[in-house]
Structure 1
Amino acid sequence: MADRFSTHNLEVGNDIVIKRYASWDRGEPHREWAALNLLAEHAPGLAPTPLEATLDATSPMIVMSRLPGCVLRGQHATEEQISAMAAALNRLHQVPAQVVEAIEPAPWGPDAAVDKARAWADRQPDLGDNPLVRRAFQAGAAWLASTAPDKLTTNPLPPVLGHADGNHANYLWDDRERRVWLIDWEDSGRNDRAFELGEVIEHISRIDGTLDETKLLAHIDLASGEAQRVRDFRLLVALCWFFQLGRNGPATPHNPVGTLERQAERILQLLS
């Protein structure tokens, strides 16, 4: 299992992976163990099989099966890979609602994203003097000051088991079986499906490669009104990243030169 983008210590064996957590202030080991067991019961074959865990040890650890494949981050996703990614998401979101209702909410969801985006906008981060970037900031800040984001915090549809991390490094393409596996469940929990889709599409990891969101969404059966909510969540997630890409922003060192300008274009596109 590739771990190029992992923030945890992974020991990869022939058939197993041992994951040791560097931090667990959000209950990451418990979240991941719960999700892996839930998926093993309700969507087997979608994620690693949980084998063993020491969740409350000084250094929490989970042992799980090793999955074949390469991460989709940094890749130009083909139509086949996009279709397989959508199939994995559809299967994930079909875990019974009554099961999902019993699990904890994900730490990253609509409420947290709205609060974070508004806090960053109020802080007015130093995004430089580029006219395109300034225009995107002004338009994004105006949208955040409206009532539109508040409407996103009420979910009219049943919740889903959410990954709550759209990093494309969490999607593992299996070239032999022609399918996508889902890995890294430490931030998982009960969430809003429209938010989850917006998070996958607009996570900053998209900068490393290409993922045609139109083709992805074409394979997702959206409920009435859900398409607009997905678009609004895309804008919200995109703004969260945009505000962190200034001269001293926390996301700036991890992304190539020009990412801020590309993100500004994305903001204006989503607002058009």
Structure 2
Amino acid sequence: MADLQHTHEVVFDGDVVTKRYVDGKQGGAEREWRALTLLAEHAPGLAPEPIAFEAGVVSMTRIDGVSLRGLSVGDAQVAAMAEALDVLYAAVPPAVLETVPIRPWQRAAVRDWVRRRGAEWRSRDPLADRAVEEGLRWLESWTPGESGVTPVFGGGDGNLANFLWDGARVRRVDFEDSGRSDRVWELAEMAEHVSMWVEGEVDIVGRFELSPPEERLMRDYRKLHGMTWLFLLSHESPRNPPGTFRRQVERVLATLAA
């Protein structure tokens, strides 16, 4: 979805980064600015600091570090990533969080998108067709509940590339899809993002203690996000290794069986 589209241009000028939204993505710049402003106040150091905002353009400080995507991610990086997420999720006080708009691509929106893509599916091969059929059958029987939902400030877009490692800690960039969310939804979206497994499985969920209701939510959310990526990857991209779609089909079938 959003992470597969060209949504902005980034210009580096010394210690200043300017992000210009180029596709008219509704509210992206505003969400980015809101996130940077909130985190500068409630979790300083976790993300770039806001400098200036005008229509469609956000300027921020440049932070040190290299993207985790493409690195050999080990225990130290995963532990630091989990620590950064803990800080992010707890950063915004509840009274302030209630005033933050819900982030894009929440449960109902993703469910409806998957349904539409499923209705448009054209037979491809027996295993992929089976994954789509079983996924849509599960989706029709799924009713998202509120049991286990823990409101948090969510960064959105679980791409591993949005996490920077400086050798000691991990910090977060790219907040165009941020907003009020729930903790398990954010973790499930991240766990199923192609960047988290295509070059070696990164187990971020295992770093968090989940209650039984949260564990049930996690299973359901991962099924839904898995279906999302099944459709997104149905046309192989040169950015991913050959066979990525086939691996996603197998992941979806395994997740649906869990």
Aligned mate of 1:151, from 133, 144, 148: 144
Describe the shift of the 1:102–1:125 C-alpha distance in structure 2 as closer, same or farther (beyond 3 A).
farther
Distance 2:164 2:217 in 1: 27
Corresponding pairs, count: 252
Alpha-carbon deviation of 1:219?
Answer: 2.2
Distance 1:71 1:50 in 2: 20
Deviation sequence 1:157-181 (CA, Å, 0-9, x none): 3411111211111111112xx1111
Instruction: Assess if the C-alpha contact under 8 Å between 1:83 and 1:219 holds in 2.
Output: yes
Alignment correspondent of 2:232: 244
Alignment correspondent of 1:87: 83
Deviation sequence 1:70-113 (CA, Å, 0-9, x none): 11123331111111111111111112222211111111111111
Aligned mate of 1:133, from 109, 120, 128: 128
Alignment correspondent of 1:166: 158
Alignment correspondent of 1:29: 29
Alpha-carbon deviation of 1:155?
Answer: 6.0
Letter aligned with residue 227 of structure 2: L
Aligned mate of 1:227, from 200, 203, 215: 215
RMSD (Å), alpha carbons: 2.0
Alpha-carbon deviation of 1:224?
Answer: 3.7
Distance 1:141 1:67 in 2: 42
TM-score, with length taken from structure 1 = 0.85
Structure 2 portions without partners, runs of 5+: none
What is the 5 A alignment of 1:149-228? 150-152=143-145, 154=146, 156-175=148-167, 178-213=168-203, 216-228=204-216
Alignment correspondent of 2:119: 122
TM-score, with length taken from structure 2 = 0.90
Structure 1 portions without partners, runs of 5+: none
Higher relative contact order (CA 8 A, sep 6+): 1
**What's the % identity of the aligned pairs?**
40
Letter aligned with residue 185 of structure 1: F
Instruction: Assess if the C-alpha contact under 8 Å between 1:53 and 1:63 holds in 2.
Output: yes
